[in-house]
A and B are shown apart, each in its own frame.
Chain A
Amino acid sequence: MKVLGLDAQNQASLLKVVILGLIAFVAISSRLFSIIRFESVIHEFDPWFNYRATRRLVQTNFYEFWNWFDERSWYPLGRVVGGTVYPGLMVTSATIHNILHALNFPVDIRNICVLLAPLFSAFTAIAAFLLTSEIKDSSAGLLAAAFIGVAPGYISRSVAGSYDNEGIAIFLLMFTFYLWIKSLKEGSAFFGGLTALFYFYMVAAWGGYVFIINLIPLHAFALILMGRFSTRLYVAYSSFYALGTLMSMQIPFVGFQPTRTSEHMAALGIFGLLQIIAFVELVRSHLASNQFQILFKGFIFIAFIAMFSALVILTFSGYIAPWTGRFYSLWDTGYAKKYIPIIASVSEHQPTAWPSFFFDLEMLIFLFPAGIYLCFKELRDEHVFVILYGITASYFAGVMVRLMLTLTPIVCVSSSITISSLLDNYLDFSVVDPETTEQKSVTDSKSKPQDKHKKPGDSSRSAATSSKSEKKKKKDQFFGIIGNDSRGIVLLNFFFFLVIFIWHCTWVTSNAYSSPSIVLASRQADGSQYIIDDFREAYYWLRKNTDDSAKIMSWWDYGYQIAGMADRTVLVDNNTWNNTHIATVGKAMSSEEEVAYEIMRRHDVTHVLVIFGGLLGYSGDDINKFLWMIRIAEGVYPDDVKETNFFTPRGEYRVDDEATPTMRRSLMYKMSYHNYNELFGGQGQDRVRGAKLPADKIKLSTLEEAYTTENWIVRIYKVKDLDNIGRNLEQAAAFEAGKKSRRPKRKQSQK
Chain B
Amino acid sequence: MEVRKFFFIFLSSFILLLSLCYAAKPSLESKVALLNQASSQNLGVVELDSNLYDEFVAKPRNYSMAILLTALDPQINCIPCKEFDPEFRLVARSWLEAGNEPSRLYFGVLDFKNGREVYAKLGLNNAPTLFYFSPTTGPYAKDVSEPNKYEFNRHGFSAEEFASYLSGILGTQVPVKRPLNYFSIFITTILILGALASIKLMYPMMESIIRSKNTWATISLVVILMMISGHMWNHIRGPPYVYYQNSQVSYIAHGFSNQFGIESQIVAVVYGICSFSVIALIHLVPKVEDKNKQRFGTYLWMGILFTTFSLLFALFRIKNPGYPFKLFI
**Chain A residues proximal to chain B, CB less than 8 Å:** 333-334, 338, 350-359, 363, 365-370, 372-374, 376-377, 379, 387, 390-391, 394-395, 397-399, 418, 421-422, 425-426, 433-435, 456, 475-483, 485-486, 489-490, 493, 497, 500, 503-504, 507, 638, 643-644, 649
Q: How far is the CA of A5 from the CA of B279 in the complex (A)?
A: 40
Q: Nearest residue in B to A649 (C-beta to C-beta)? A: B123
Whole-angstrom distance between the Cβ of B305 and the nearest chain A Cβ: 8
The answer to the question of B7 belonging to the interface, with a C-beta cut-off of 8 Å to chain A, is no
Given A394-B224, A507-B325, does the pair A365, B271 have CB atoms closer than 8 Å? yes
B319 touches A490 (CB 8 A): no
Candidates B259, B270, B274, B291; contact of A433 at CB < 8 Å:
B291
Q: In the complex, which of the residues A353, A475, A480, A497 has the most CB atoms of chain B within 10 Å of its own CB atom?
A: A353
Q: In the complex, which of the residues B154, B237, B264, B306 has the most CB atoms of chain A within 10 Å of its own CB atom?
A: B154
The answer to the question of B228 belonging to the interface, with a C-beta cut-off of 8 Å to chain A, is yes
Q: In the complex, which of the residues B270, B282, B287 has the most CB atoms of chain A within 10 Å of its own CB atom?
A: B282
Candidates A379, A397, A480, A638; contact of B227 at CB < 8 Å:
A397
13 A-B contact pairs sorted by A residue (CB < 8 Å)? A351-B235, A353-B230, A357-B228, A363-B274, A366-B270, A369-B275, A376-B217, A394-B224, A394-B228, A395-B227, A476-B287, A479-B287, A643-B154
Given A398-B227, A490-B298, does the pair A422, B278 have CB atoms closer than 8 Å? yes
The answer to the question of B302 belonging to the interface, with a C-beta cut-off of 8 Å to chain A, is yes
Q: Nearest residue in B to A355 (C-beta to C-beta)? A: B319
Residues in B whose Cβ lies below 8 Å from that of A377: 283
Whole-angstrom distance between the Cβ of B131 and the nearest chain A Cβ: 12
B302 touches A482 (CB 8 A): no
A480 touches B286 (CB 8 A): yes
The answer to the question of B295 belonging to the interface, with a C-beta cut-off of 8 Å to chain A, is yes
The answer to the question of B33 belonging to the interface, with a C-beta cut-off of 8 Å to chain A, is no
Q: Nearest residue in B to A399 (C-beta to C-beta)? A: B232
A369 touches B224 (CB 8 A): yes
Q: How far is the CA of A481 from the CA of B299 in the complex (A)?
A: 12
Please encode chain B, from 80 to 93, with 1 for each CB lying within 8 Å of some chain A CB and 0 for all others: 00000000000000
Whole-angstrom distance between the Cβ of B325 and the nearest chain A Cβ: 6
Q: Scan residues 263-300 of chain B and give those whose CB is less than 8 A from a CB of chain A.
A: 263-264, 267, 270-272, 274-276, 278-279, 281-283, 285-289, 291, 294-295, 298-299
The answer to the question of B8 belonging to the interface, with a C-beta cut-off of 8 Å to chain A, is no
Interface band, chain B: 35 or more
A352 touches B232 (CB 8 A): yes
B286 touches A365 (CB 8 A): no
Q: How far is the CA of A638 from the CA of B289 in the complex (A)?
A: 74
Q: Determine the main DSSP class of A at the interface with B.
A: helix
Q: How far is the CA of A398 from the CA of B227 in the complex (A)?
A: 6
Given A353-B233, A503-B325, does the pair A479, B286 have CB atoms closer than 8 Å? yes
Candidates A338, A366, A421, A504; contact of B271 at CB < 8 Å:
A366
Q: How far is the CA of A367 from the CA of B217 in the complex (A)?
A: 15
Residues in A whose Cβ lies below 8 Å from that of B298: 481, 483, 486, 489-490
Given A358-B316, A434-B289, does the pair A486, B236 have CB atoms closer than 8 Å? no
Q: Nearest residue in B to A227 (C-beta to C-beta)? A: B211
A399 touches B271 (CB 8 A): no
Residues in B whose Cβ lies below 8 Å from that of A475: 287
**Nearest 10 pairs of A and B residues by beta carbon:** A398-B232, A354-B230, A366-B274, A486-B298, A394-B227, A376-B217, A398-B227, A351-B233, A369-B275, A370-B275
Given A390-B220, A477-B289, does the pair A418, B227 have CB atoms closer than 8 Å? no
B299 touches A357 (CB 8 A): no
Q: Nearest residue in A to B264 (C-beta to C-beta)? A: A354
A369 touches B287 (CB 8 A): no
B291 touches A483 (CB 8 A): yes
Q: How far is the CA of A367 from the CA of B305 in the complex (A)?
A: 11
Q: Nearest residue in B to A393 (C-beta to C-beta)? A: B227
Q: How far is the CA of A649 from the CA of B294 in the complex (A)?
A: 68
Q: Nearest residue in A to B168 (C-beta to C-beta)? A: A638
Please encode chain B, from 296 to 329, with 1 for each CB lying within 8 Å of some chain A CB and 0 for all others: 0011001001100100100010011000110100
A351 touches B223 (CB 8 A): no
Please encode chain B, from 210 to 253, with 1 for each CB lying within 8 Å of some chain A CB and 0 for all others: 00010011001101110111111101110000000000000000
Q: In the complex, which of the residues B168, B228, B229, B271 has the most CB atoms of chain A within 10 Å of its own CB atom?
A: B228
The answer to the question of B198 belonging to the interface, with a C-beta cut-off of 8 Å to chain A, is no
Residues in A whose Cβ lies below 8 Å from that of B309: 363, 366, 497
Residues in B whose Cβ lies below 8 Å from that of A366: 270-271, 274-275, 278, 309, 312
Q: How far is the CA of A456 from the CA of B279 in the complex (A)?
A: 13
The answer to the question of B117 belonging to the interface, with a C-beta cut-off of 8 Å to chain A, is no
Please encode chain B, from 83 to 107, with 1 for each CB lying within 8 Å of some chain A CB and 0 for all others: 0000000000000000000000000
Candidates B123, B271, B287, B299; contact of A489 at CB < 8 Å:
B299
B282 touches A374 (CB 8 A): yes
Whole-angstrom distance between the Cβ of A478 and the nearest chain B Cβ: 6
Q: Nearest residue in A to B237 (C-beta to C-beta)? A: A351
Residues in A whose Cβ lies below 8 Å from that of B25: none
Given A354-B264, A355-B320, does the pair A490, B302 have CB atoms closer than 8 Å? yes
A354 touches B287 (CB 8 A): no
A359 touches B221 (CB 8 A): no
Q: How far is the CA of A644 from the CA of B279 in the complex (A)?
A: 54
Residues in A whose Cβ lies below 8 Å from that of B299: 486, 489
Given A397-B227, A500-B325, does the pair A358, B291 have CB atoms closer than 8 Å? no
The answer to the question of B177 belonging to the interface, with a C-beta cut-off of 8 Å to chain A, is no
Q: Nearest residue in A to B221 (C-beta to C-beta)? A: A369
A355 touches B220 (CB 8 A): no
Residues in A whose Cβ lies below 8 Å from that of B156: 338
Given A353-B259, A435-B291, A489-B302, does the pair A391, B278 have CB atoms closer than 8 Å? no
User: Can you name 9 extra interface pairs (CB under 8 A) apart from A481-B294, A483-B295?
Assistant: A354-B228, A354-B229, A370-B275, A391-B220, A399-B236, A433-B291, A479-B287, A490-B298, A504-B325
The answer to the question of B137 belonging to the interface, with a C-beta cut-off of 8 Å to chain A, is no
Q: In the complex, which of the residues A366, A367, A425, A490 has the most CB atoms of chain B within 10 Å of its own CB atom?
A: A366
Q: How far is the CA of A426 from the CA of B259 in the complex (A)?
A: 38
Candidates B213, B224, B236, B302; contact of A372 at CB < 8 Å:
B224
Q: In the complex, which of the residues A390, A398, A485 has the most CB atoms of chain B within 10 Å of its own CB atom?
A: A398
Residues in B whose Cβ lies below 8 Å from that of A376: 213, 216-217, 220
Residues in A whose Cβ lies below 8 Å from that of B224: 368-369, 372, 390-391, 394
Whole-angstrom distance between the Cβ of A172 and the nearest chain B Cβ: 24
The answer to the question of B181 belonging to the interface, with a C-beta cut-off of 8 Å to chain A, is no
Q: Nearest residue in B to A356 (C-beta to C-beta)? A: B257
Whole-angstrom distance between the Cβ of A371 and the nearest chain B Cβ: 9
Residues in B whose Cβ lies below 8 Å from that of A367: 275, 278
A334 touches B236 (CB 8 A): yes
A357 touches B233 (CB 8 A): no
Residues in B whose Cβ lies below 8 Å from that of A355: 256-257, 259, 316, 319-320
A395 touches B223 (CB 8 A): yes
Residues in B whose Cβ lies below 8 Å from that of A485: 295
